[in-house]
Amino acid sequence: MRQATWVAALVLLGAALGGCRDASLDHDNTAVLGGTGQADAAPPGATLTDARGEPIPAPPAPAGARARMVRTAGDAALAVWIAGMHVMASTWTRAAGWTLPQPLERIYGESSDVQLASNGQGQAMAVWQHRVGNIHSLRFSRYGPDGWSLPDVVPGALPRPDVAGTPPDQGAPQLQMDTQGQVVARWASGFQANAMQSARYTPGAGWTRATTEAVASAPSASPAPQGPSSAP
């Protein structure tokens, strides 16, 4: 009789855990995480936690938005997402929760594929694609003690444009930030079909000019555009 009771309890526990898993997969505001290090980020769809291991709630992004979230300190986090063709940002602390979302900039054109990285020591970098007609560029904003910097272009960058039907965020740049706040960005080149571009950011010096490197099989979000222009 005692063994049957234990078996029934285990079955009920398994069903409850399965229900929790299904509910999390159906949530619209999935936090897609960036950054470096296990303490500051988690795989896409996972819950980001603070230094005490307590879950950080989802940011105030609209339903369907793919928010990218990183932890910038033990009890602080950032989130960015695309809404209305602009990059929106919000900050979080355990004491105050999430701030009201604010656009990083309001300029003509369409922003997409925003990526976010942090070193978990109060510094972060957001990089995204921006398009005005057939002119494509990468723009960035750095987060520090004074908040977000004025967005600007990554010099020499020409990201490969997305096309309809490709997976979300396939064209998003790959970012890595070290403990000193230095950032390496890498993305599919719009100059050549089988090429990648990369650039490095150093605090106090800014971004290096993007360099292009041929690879055996670069991501194929779309064919390389014919005669596009990059922002200076």
> pLDDT digit string (tens) for 41-79?
544 455 899 999 999 999 999 998 999 999 999 999 999
Q: Judge whether 121 and 73 are in contact, CB under 8 Å.
A: yes
Q: Is residue 13 part of a domain?
A: no
Task: Kindly tell me if the per-residue pLDDT of 35 is higher than 80.
Answer: no
How many structural domains compose the chain?
Answer: 1
Domain-located, residue 24: no
Residue 72 is given by DSSP the state E
pTM for the model: 0.76
Q: Is residue 4 part of a domain?
A: no
Residue 3 burial by CB count (10 A; 0-12/13-18/19+): exposed, middle or buried? exposed
Residue 77 is assigned to a structural domain of this protein = yes
Greater pLDDT, 11 or 144: 144
Please give the residue range of the domain that contains residue 162. Answer: 29-230
Does residue 63 sit within a domain? yes
Is 1 among the domain residues?
A: no
Give the number of C-alpha atoms closer than 13 A to the C-alpha of residue 88, restricted to the C-beta side. 18
* Per-residue pLDDT band at 215 (split at 50, 70, 90): confident
Does 187 map to a domain? Answer: yes
* Element holding 4 (H helix, E strand): helix 2-25
Residue 17 domain-assigned? no
